[in-house]
Every structure is written in structure tokens, then in C-alpha cells.
């Protein structure tokens, strides 16, 4: 028998600026009047705080370091500018990202190109501006060397490494050179008389899928041992870049997270009413009356995130020997971290206007938003978090709703979770998704039906309120 229990809550962590903005009706009216829906609003002092947290960890460990903001995580120019003001580097993944960072005035020594596909034009820009290129394969080496040769310039390069050894075997990645082969490749090709005489070896790089600190610790240790071997052959590593992928925590309560997962399983089993659109299991499946599979979402609640995550990598002991931190101390190798998502934690929210309310055939309230599913999409099966609302609740009129989007697809359900709102919103009311503008919206957003990409704005604090600061799309 299906019971109708209350919907579980997933309360997001909120920085002070977020609820304040949601209460500032005048500012919201101005922003929507000027720019339409949806809007990404950023508050950049949070970015500065995130930088400080990572800095502190490296400094406590007395390890030379540099942070590189992974630009791909957010399209806005003002975040790149903020990286420059904080004197950190910028990791670029395309011609336009590199161009934007150069235009903003980031110094070429603080730039790196890690693009998965490196066009001839991008590599030409790298050679002209003396920007470090992280090489992934031999074809890239051929192309970059030939471009550098034409202008007789030496180009700084690093090598992306993969195939690291872990307790569960060798780690697969489609990226990079295998750790077992890269040493002889560098030594034979990058010497003055080698095939790539115009490439100057500077260091090693990796970026791992997933969120394991143990795998990152093992990869960093193996890169360190590789750097030691390369040194004996005349190749000094100035840096080891450990990529990004630092976990962040979105939720206030572990209890809510656990209850949500239990209630979702109950719903999939048919023991309670649905809590997701059409009872989507978000990875859980009912097979032979048993729940199978795993929740296919980001681990929205987790305890080893941000600075603790980095701390765990540095304290990791590969094969139970010296810790990463002990290995690296006094070694004169700069450790580079390339965070995207984690530098943008608490930096942005996405706001959308309510276009309509209606009941569907099954009697469920659908609230149409002026945005599309692509704007909250990621590799996670749903964004899940409770949204913020910018309207005064009428007491005792709670209502359960689904938010639907602007695409012609039945599947355009902006949040798959069923949400309890204090009351049914009015047309024109504003709903806010916490922590998505910093990161999420910039990845899978599409322009189907000729909709514009969402606008990116920054706000700044004045004496009593927040003020719109700049429009910083690209």
C-alpha cells in the first residue's frame, strides 16, 4: 500500500548573500527587467575565500604551489579577472578561453592549455604567447613542434600522464601518456637532438575522473618518482599539476541526505508516493522486488571536501611509505592544483521566472519556468537541492510541485525531484537554484529553439544592500 508521507527535504548550504538577494525585490526586478530569464548571479568574494582555503593547506605543508582556476567551469570574464586579481593562474581548454584570459591580462606564465582537442590556431597562439601546453598524444607533439619550428621558438610543455597503479589495478583514462612509457618518450624526443627539439620539457600533469583522494595521492607519488627518474637523465620537472576534481559539499544535513535516499528507494518499491517525476529511480531500479543499482547523482552530501580533500591527498602514503607531503618537501617541485567547481563553491545562483502553473492529468502541479533542463543538467541524474523562492509565503498553503522547462520535450523537467513550496507561486515569481551559476549551468546548456545562453551577472555589496555590478558573459 502506498503511503502519502511528507516529501523529504534537501536543504542547501547558503552563503549570506543568497537569501539577502532573494529578498531584494527591487534589485531582482531590475535584473530581470534588463536581462530576462534565466539569470546567473555571481558574488565573487566567495571565490576569494575558496582560493584562501587551498592556499592555507599548501602553506601549512610548506610545499611550493600554484593554483590555476579551470576556466571551463564558468564562462564569465569577471571570474577570470578575479583569478588574475588573486594572482592565481588560469587553465584554458579552448582558443576562446585562452584569448579571454590573455585579454583580461593574465600573465602568460600563469596560463596553461589543457584542451582535449588542440587546434592548430590554439597551438599557434600558445607558441606566439609562450604559454605552457599540456600534451596528450604524439600527434599533438608533432603539430606543436612543427609550429614552434617555423618561428624557431622554444615552447614550454608538460606531459599528461595516466595509467597510474592503485590497489584495484591500473587506472584507465582516455587521456594522456601511459606512466610506463612516458619517461622514455620524453627522454628520446625532447632532447636538443630529439624529434621535438623545439619543445622544452617543464613538468608532469594529470587530472583524474571521480573523487578519490587515494587515487590522487597515488598518482602524485608516482609522478614524483617519475620526476626523480627524469632528473637523472637531465630533465628537471618544475611542476607536477594534479588537475581538479576537488569534491564540494552542497547540503546542510547528513540526516536529510540519508532520509532522501531511503524514501527514494521506498518510492521505487511502490511503498510510498513518488518523490521524483514519474518515479524516476535516479539510478535505483526495482528488479525481482529488490532495489538494485546506485544513486547516479553527484554525492551532494559528503564530509571530505574542499581543503580537507586536498589535505587528504597530501597526507596520503603510497605503499604505506612516506606521505606525499614528506616526499615533496624541499624538493623544489611546484604542485599545481587546477580546481574549477571547488573554486566556484557558493559563488553563484541561477534565477528563473515562473511562466505558468497547471495541474497535469495525474493531478500533479507543474510550474513552468523560463529556463530549460539543459541549464541544470550535468553528469548527475538530477540536481536535487531544494530551490530558493523569492515570494512571501501565504501561511498554511504548502503545495507539491515539479518545475518544467521551455523545451518541447516531455523530458524537460528542470528538477526531477518533487518539491514542497510554501504556496503556489504567482506568474512572474522567482525561483533560485543554489550554487548552479558558479558551475553547473556552464556545462551542458544548449540553445535549442534559438533560446539565448543565460546571462551572467555579478553583484557587489554596498552599505546595506547588494548592487548589480557588471554584465560579464564572455
Enumerate binding residues for ligand PLP (CB under 6 A): 70, 73, 91, 114, 207, 243-246, 338-342
Shortest reach from residue 204's CB to ligand PLP, in Å = 13
Please give the Cα distance from 430 to 408 (Å, whole number).
Answer: 22
- Closer CB to ligand PLP, 216 or 353, in the complex: 216
SS3 of residue 312 by DSSP: helix
Shortest reach from residue 252's CB to ligand PLP, in Å = 22
- Chain Cα centroid distance, residue 346: 12
- Chain Cα centroid distance, residue 227: 28
Cross-strand partners of 40: 350, 456
Please give the Cα distance from 189 to 200 (Å, whole number).
Answer: 10
Contact assessment for residue 92 and residue 119, using Cβ atoms and an 8 Å cutoff: no
Shortest reach from residue 339's CB to ligand PLP, in Å = 4
Shortest reach from residue 135's CB to ligand PLP, in Å = 12
- Closer CB to ligand PLP, 309 or 365, in the complex: 309
- Closer CB to ligand PLP, 112 or 459, in the complex: 112
Shortest reach from residue 175's CB to ligand PLP, in Å = 8
Please give the Cα distance from 344 to 441 (Å, whole number).
Answer: 12
- Closer CB to ligand PLP, 35 or 298, in the complex: 298
Would you call the peptide bond into 38 cis, given omega within 30 degrees of 0 as the criterion? yes
Shortest reach from residue 465's CB to ligand PLP, in Å = 31
- Closer CB to ligand PLP, 342 or 472, in the complex: 342
- Chain Cα centroid distance, residue 182: 28
- Closer CB to ligand PLP, 91 or 95, in the complex: 91
Contact assessment for residue 215 and residue 208, using Cβ atoms and an 8 Å cutoff: yes
Shortest reach from residue 414's CB to ligand PLP, in Å = 22
- Closer CB to ligand PLP, 183 or 338, in the complex: 338
**What DSSP line would sit under 61-130, residue for residue?**
HT--EEEEEEGGG---HHHHHHHHHTT-EEEE-SHHHHHHHHHHT--GGGEEE--SS--HHHHHHHHHHT
Closest CA to 343 of 160, 63, 17, 82: 82
Closest CA to 12 of 181, 256, 185, 195: 256
- Closer CB to ligand PLP, 216 or 272, in the complex: 216
Contact assessment for residue 221 and residue 318, using Cβ atoms and an 8 Å cutoff: yes
Q: Is 330 left (phi over 0), alpha (psi -120 to 50) or beta?
A: left
Shortest reach from residue 319's CB to ligand PLP, in Å = 26
Amino acid at each position: 500500500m502506498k503511503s502519502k508521507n511528507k516529501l523529504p527535504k534537501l536543504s542547501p548550504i547558503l552563503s549570506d548573500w543568497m537569501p539577502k538577494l532573494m529578498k531584494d525585490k527591487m534589485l531582482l526586478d531590475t535584473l530581470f527587467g534588463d536581462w530576462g530569464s534565466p539569470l546567473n548571479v555571481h558574488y565573487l568574494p566567495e571565490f576569494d575565500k575558496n582560493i584562501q582555503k587551498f592556499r592555507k593547506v599548501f602553506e601549512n605543508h610548506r610545499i611550493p604551489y600554484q593554483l590555476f582556476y579551470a576556466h571551463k567551469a564558468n564562462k564569465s570574464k569577471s571570474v577570470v579577472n578575479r583569478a588574475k586579481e588573486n594572482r592565481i593562474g588560469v587553465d584554458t581548454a579552448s582558443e576562446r578561453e585562452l584569448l579571454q584570459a590573455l585579454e583580461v591580462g593574465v600573465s602568460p606564465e600563469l596560463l596553461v592549455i589543457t584542451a582535449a582537442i588542440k587546434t592548430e590556431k590554439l597551438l599557434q597562439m600558445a607558441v606566439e604567447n609562450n604559454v605552457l601546453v599540456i600534451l596528450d598524444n604524439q600527434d599533438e607533439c608533432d603539430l606543436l613542434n612543427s609550429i614552434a619550428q617555423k618561428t624557431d621558438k622554444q615552447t614550454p610543455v608538460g606531459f599528461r600522464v595516466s595509467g597510474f597503479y592503485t590497489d584495484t589495478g591500473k587506472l584507465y583514462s582516455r587521456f594522456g601518456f601511459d606512466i610506463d612509457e612516458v619517461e622514455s618518450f620524453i627522454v628520446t624526443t625532447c632532447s636538443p637532438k630529439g624529434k621535438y627539439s623545439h619543445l622544452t620539457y617543464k613538468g608532469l600533469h594529470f587530472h583524474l575522473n571521480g573523487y578519490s583522494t587515494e587515487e590522487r595521492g597515488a598518482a602524485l607519488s608516482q609522478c614524483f618518482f617519475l620526476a626523480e627518474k627524469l632528473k637523472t637523465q637531465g630533465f628537471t620537472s618544475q611542476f607536477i599539476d594534479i588537475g581538479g576534481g576537488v569534491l564540494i559539499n552542497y547540503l546542510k544535513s547528513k540526516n536529510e541526505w540519508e532520509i532522501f535516499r531511503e524514501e527514494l528507494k521506498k518510492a521505487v518499491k511502490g511503498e510510498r508516493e513518488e518523490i521524483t517525476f514519474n518515479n524516476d529511480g535516479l539510478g535505483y531500479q526495482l528488479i525481482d522486488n529488490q532495489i538494485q543499482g546506485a544513486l547516479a547523482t553527484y554525492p551532494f552530501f559528503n564530509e571530505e571536501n574542499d581543503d580537507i580533500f586536498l589535505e587528504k591527498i597530501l597526507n596520503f602514503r603510497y605503499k604505506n611509505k612516506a606521505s606525499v607531503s614528506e616526499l615533496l618537501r624541499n624538493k623544489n617541485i611546484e604542485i599545481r592544483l587546477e580546481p574549477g567547481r571547488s573554486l566556484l563553491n557558493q559563488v553563484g545562483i541561477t534565477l528563473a521566472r515562473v511562466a505558468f502553473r497547471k495541474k497535469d492529468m495525474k493531478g500533479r502541479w507543474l510550474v513552468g519556468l523560463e529556463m530549460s533542463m539543459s541549464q541544470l543538467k550535468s553528469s548527475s541524474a538530477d540536481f536535487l537541492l531544494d530551490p530558493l523562492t523569492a515570494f512571501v509565503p501565504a501561511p498554511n498553503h504548502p503545495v507539491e510541485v515539479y518545475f518544467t522547462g521551455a523545451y518541447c520535450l516531455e523530458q524537460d523537467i528542470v528538477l526531477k525531484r518533487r518539491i514542497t513550496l510554501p504556496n503556489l507561486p504567482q506568474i512572474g515569481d522567482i525561483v533560485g537554484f543554489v550554487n548552479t551559476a558558479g558551475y553547473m549551468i556552464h556545462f551542458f546548456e544548449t540553445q535549442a529553439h534559438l533560446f539565448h545562453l543565460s546571462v551572467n551577472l555579478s553583484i557587489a555589496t554596498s552599505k546595506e544592500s547588494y548592487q548589480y555590478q557588471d554584465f560579464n558573459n564572455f
